[in-house]
């Protein structure tokens, strides 16, 4: 299955068999190329064992992927953008995955990374049974009219994107060829990056991300950037 097809099937997995993912698959995961939103922002991704993290979830997996970043403008949406490509990729490998906003690095077993901040982690592993969705009815998401000023089928992949506590804080406006992307001030910019990742994966060739100074203010929202697809 391609990453694009996975957008319509993926689901957070919270049931795992507990067997670690083997070295050959770990190698494939680490060498999978992720496209950044901001290539100039330095990030660091590691696969770590359970003892390196603190998380109260009883189902946490034996291995997790952690990501650190420089704290530059746009770093949160950059991490959301990168890690959502990983979320989709892991599922194409037949693995289960779940973003873990609750997870922290364990200060007793890890050391701080100089000049970088820990941002978030993904739990991943062999799922218990089939964890994918089989139709769109399985997605609990806002209807199209609540996330955009104009119904636009190109935004369907973004509508289906996962977000922290399913908050779906994104809003899209149209201006000529451009789609402007906003994030609710109550929401997380990580989530805006996740929705952007789905727009990238579903329009890999045409996707272009940019920022413009001439964008309308949307009360209660932060402007994240604009795309052409
Ligand atoms: C940034 C982020 C943080 C999340 N943190 C957690 C978490 O700590 N625990 C958890 O069980 N699920 C977590 N989730 C999963 C969301 O609850 C889930 O993506 C959302 O409810 C939509 O469901 P779906 O992923 O199955 O489509 C997180 C998701 C995102 C995007």
| 194 Cβ inside 6 Å of ligand 1 | yes
Superfamily of domain 3-125 in CATH is: NADH Oxidase (3.40.109.10)
What fold does the segment set 140-228 form as a domain?
NADH Oxidase (3.40.109)
Q: Which pLDDT value is given to residue 134?
A: 92
In 3D, which of 115, 118, 124 has the Cα closest to residue 104? 118
Residue 132 near ligand 1, beta carbon < 6 Å: no
pLDDT of 20 reads: 97
Closest among 81, 75, 84 to 115, alpha carbons compared: 75
**Given this chain, do its domains 3-125 and 140-228 carry the same CATH topology?**
yes
Confidence of residue 229 (pLDDT cuts 50, 70, 90): very high
Q: Determine whether the shortest distance from the Cβ of 167 to ligand 1 is under 6 A.
A: no
Ordered by start, the domain boundaries in the chain are: 3-125, 140-228
pLDDT in tens, 53-71: 999 888 999 999 999 999 9
CA triplet 36, 42, 43: central angle to 5 degrees? Answer: 75
Q: What is the mean pLDDT of the chain?
A: 97
The confidence score (pLDDT) of residue 129 equals: 93
* Ligand 1 pocket test, candidate residues 164, 192, 194, most atoms within 8 A of CB: 164
CB neighbours (10 Å) of residue 175?
13
Q: Is the CB of 133 under 6 A from ligand 1?
A: no
User: Starting at the edge strand that comes first in sequence, how are the strands of the sheet with 117-125 ordered?
Assistant: 43-49, 63-69, 117-125, 96-100
pLDDT digits (tens, 9 = 90+) for 88-139: 999 999 999 999 999 999 999 999 999 999 999 999 999 999 999 999 999 9
C-alpha of residue 167 to centroid of ligand 1, in Å = 9
pLDDT tens digits for 150-188?
A: 999 999 999 999 999 999 999 999 999 999 999 999 999
> What is the model's pLDDT at position 83?
98
pLDDT given at position 200: 98
Residue 81 Cβ inside 6 Å of ligand 1? The answer reads no
- Please work out whether the CB of residue 91 comes within 6 Å of at least one atom of ligand 1: no
pLDDT at 172: 98
Q: In whole angstroms, what is the distance from residue 99 CA to residue 57 CA?
A: 12
pLDDT attached to residue 197: 99
Q: Whose CA is nearest to atom 31 of ligand 1?
A: 163
């Amino acid at each position: 299955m391609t990453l694009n097809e996975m957008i319509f099937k993926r689901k957070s997995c919270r049931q795992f068999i507990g067997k670690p993912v083997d070295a050959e698959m770990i190698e494939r995961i680490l060498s999978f190329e992720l496209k950044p939103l901001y290539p100039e922002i330095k990030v660091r991704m590691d696969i770590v064992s359970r003892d390196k993290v603190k998380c109260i979830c009883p189902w946490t997996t034996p291995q997790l992927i952690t990501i650190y970043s420089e704290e530059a403008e746009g770093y949160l949406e950059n991490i959301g953008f990168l890690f959502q490509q990983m979320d989709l990729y892991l599922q194409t490998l037949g693995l289960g995955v779940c973003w873990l906003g609750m997870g922290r690095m364990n200060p007793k077993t890890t050391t701080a990374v100089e000049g970088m901040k820990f941002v978030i982690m993904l739990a991943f592993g062999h799922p218990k049974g089939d964890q994918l969705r089989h139709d769109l009815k399985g997605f609990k998401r806002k209807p199209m009219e609540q996330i955009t000023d104009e119904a636009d089928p190109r935004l369907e992949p973004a509508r289906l994107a996962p977000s922290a506590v399913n908050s779906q804080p994104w809003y899209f406006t149209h201006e000529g060829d451009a789609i402007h992307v906003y994030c609710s001030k109550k929401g997380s910019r990580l989530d805006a990056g996740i929705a952007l990742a789905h727009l990238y994966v579903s329009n890999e060739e045409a996707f272009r991300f940019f920022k413009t100074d001439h964008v309308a203010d949307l009360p209660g929202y932060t402007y994240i950037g604009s795309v052409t697809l």
